[in-house]
Amino acid sequence: SGGPSSVYAEGAPQLDARLFDLGLPVFGICYGFQAMAQALGGTVAHTGTREYGRTELNIDGGLLHGGLPTIQPVWMSHGDAVTDAPAGFEVTGTTAGAPVAAFENP
């Protein structure tokens, strides 16, 4: 993670998975995205590849990105990365250092 915590660190903040049973849209950015992926059964790993600064997000479908160009300039700051989306979720964005930079529940 680009922040002070990794989802695997002892005492790291964790999400209560019951949040996802409320039937409300949930949006996670940075650590929140990683915590959400982990809580839903995805994989977060320390890949050894740090991504800091401007990079390109490659968009592949998804409601959130609807109508946007398929390549978007973004700012990334992380050492950990989501490497596998939770089961049933669709990967909708990738970067050079993040194989799963965005996902949606279709």
CATH code of the domain containing 21: 3.40.50.880
Tell me the per-residue pLDDT of 76-105, one tens digit each, with 9 for 90 and over: 888 889 999 999 999 999 998 889 999 999
In a domain, 3, yes or no: no
Question: How many other CB atoms are there within 10 angstroms of residue 42's CB atom?
Answer: 19
In a domain, 50, yes or no: yes
Phi and psi for 37 in degrees, rounded to 5? -60, -45
Instruction: Quote the number of domains for the chain.
Output: 1
Range of the domain at 27: 17-104
Q: What is the pTM of this model?
A: 0.87
* 100's tokens: 């799963």
In a domain, 4, yes or no: no
Tell me the per-residue pLDDT of 59-73, one tens digit each, with 9 for 90 and over: 999 998 889 999 999
In a domain, 85, yes or no: yes
